[in-house]
Amino acid sequence: MPTATSLVTGGAGFIGANVARCLLAGGHRVVVLDDLSGGSPYNVPDGAVFRRGSVCDPAVVDALFAEFGFDYVFHFAAYAAEGLSHFIKRFNYTNNVLGSVTLINAAVNAGTVRCFVFTSSIAVYGSNQVPMSEELVPAPEDPYGIAKLAVEQELRVTHDMFGLPYVIFRPHNVYGEYQNIGDRYRNVIGIFMNQALRGEPFTVFGDGEQVRAFTHISDVAPVVARSVTTPAAYNETFNIGGDSVYSLNALARATAAAMDVPLRVTHLPARNEVRHAYADHTKVRKCFGLDEGEVPLEAGLVAMAAWVRGQGPREPSVFDAIEVRRNLPPSWRAVLRD
């Protein structure tokens, strides 16, 4: 059987880099497209073809499809900062909706794509009853969740009109190796670990009793990679992630232990965010035969901490192109350079 050729957008970023590794191990030819706005070329695995460019550029995307004739598309390129998305609406929709539509158009026009895999988010659910299940009616509460839901709906109507198969995953709070710990706006575990390396206290918005389920990347990437060879997954949507829930205060204690630093926490004013967010994973377990259980948080944190120490501390990023400053959290406003 000929080798499948897969496009991985955002493959220099966190989830994309890990999925690209799984695809290579499974015998795929992998092409990574990434503009390096949040990822690193050092994350791209050996054996993958790397092209620097944006999914928002139709000429770049169309040229790639013409050159490689992709069998599968794995779309991870996005700016995934839920809280910040309120203040960068135009940027959010340009990157997360129009970029996705550019890829979908190219996949339809190419006529070679056998499946389009999209990573959405449990942000599409909003504050619905937990645990969030796929049967709930989505009601996103931030522009990031709205954008993800729009792409989900676009994939469904594209399938109905043009027959393009798809698989949608809704991961949540994924952490692990190759994560950008220098991003101050997203990925709380990476933020905590970077603060530990820099000798700073952990920063928590509000009282820290927000509840989340945290997911090690090894519980996500292999499933996403093999979805294209799982016919029962086609044209379906799956929550994917951990079941064990923790408050941010409990997470801070566990992260300090993994980084071997004293626990020091600074509580910042609360921001507008979903208070409790975790999901039901019955559907994904049944479809993919997952019965081995999740990576325990403590073990996952230890593994990530070992990788983080090898990377060293990062200067936290600053997103200066804020479009709406009203109600911007003071800690984010304070670092703006203009």
Q: At how many degrees (to 10) do helices 248-259 and 188-197 cross?
A: 40
DSSP bridge partners of 49? 31
Nearest CA among 76, 93, 81 for reference residue 33: 76
What does the pLDDT look like over 120-150, one tens digit per residue?
A: 999 999 987 889 999 999 999 999 999 999 9
Percentage of the residues of the chain whose pLDDT score is greater than 70: 99
- Which are the contacts of 260, defined by CB distance < 8 A and separation ≥ 6? none
Q: Are 20 and 48 in contact (CB under 8 A)?
A: yes
Answer whether residue 1 shows pLDDT above 80.
no
Residue 307: its pLDDT value, please? 96
DSSP state of 130: S
- Which are the contacts of 160, defined by CB distance < 8 A and separation ≥ 6? none
Position of tokens 């004739």?
69
Residue 109: its pLDDT value, please? 98
Residue 129: its pLDDT value, please? 81
Amino acid at 168: I
What does the pLDDT look like over 165-191, one tens digit per residue?
A: 999 999 999 999 999 999 988 899 999
Phi, psi torsion values for 268, nearest 5 degrees? -95, 165
What does the pLDDT look like over 222-281, one tens digit per residue?
A: 999 999 999 999 999 999 999 999 999 999 999 999 999 999 999 999 887 878 889 999
Tokens for 8, please give them.
């991985």
Rounded to whole angstroms, the Cα distance separating 218 from 235 reads: 24
Residue 128: its pLDDT value, please? 74
pTM over 0.85: yes
Q: What mean pLDDT, rounded, does the chain reach?
A: 95
